[in-house]
Amino acid sequence: MRLSMPAAAATAIIAMLIATPIAAHHGWSDYDASKPVTVTGPVTASVYKNPHAMVKMKDGAKELTIMLAPVARMKARKVTADMLAAGKTITVHGLPLKTDPAEIRAEKLTIDGKTYEIR
C-alpha cells in the first residue's frame, strides 16, 4: 500500500509525537540526590496528565522543566491543575537531572505559602 504525500507526512508527525514522550521519559535514578535544589519563579506552562504532571517555570533568565508526580498522586496530595496554571509563582524543592540541571524532579512544592509533599 502506498501512502499519498499528505498521508505520509501525517503518519510521520504522529510517529514523532508518540515517540517523543517515550524518549523523553527516564527513570527517577537519573536525578542527582546529592545535589538538592530549591527554585522559585513563575509557571510559564503546565501539563496535568499522565505519566506525570510537568511544569515549565522561570528561574531568573533560565527556563526550567519540573517533573511532577502522576496525576493521581497530585490529586491525592491536593495539588490541582489550577494551582499550577501559567502565571502562578511556585517554589520547587527537588533534584536536578544528572545530565541537564535545567530539569528538576520535584519532591515538594510550595504554592501560596503551603508546602505539598508530592513524592
Could you tell me if 105 and 31 are in contact, meaning their C-beta atoms sit under 8 angstroms apart? Answer: yes
Q: Where are the beta strands (DSSP E) in the chain?
A: 37-47, 54-59, 62-67, 89-97, 100-111, 114-117
CATH number at residue 62: 2.40.50.140
Residue 72 domain-assigned (yes or no): yes
* pTM, two decimal places: 0.76
> Is 59:40 a contact under the CB 8 Å cutoff?
yes
Model confidence at 119: pLDDT above 90: no
Indicate whether 18 belongs to any domain: no
Number of domain units in the chain: 1
Q: pLDDT tens digit string along 20-76?
A: 444 455 566 899 999 999 999 999 999 999 999 999 999 989 999 999 999 999 999
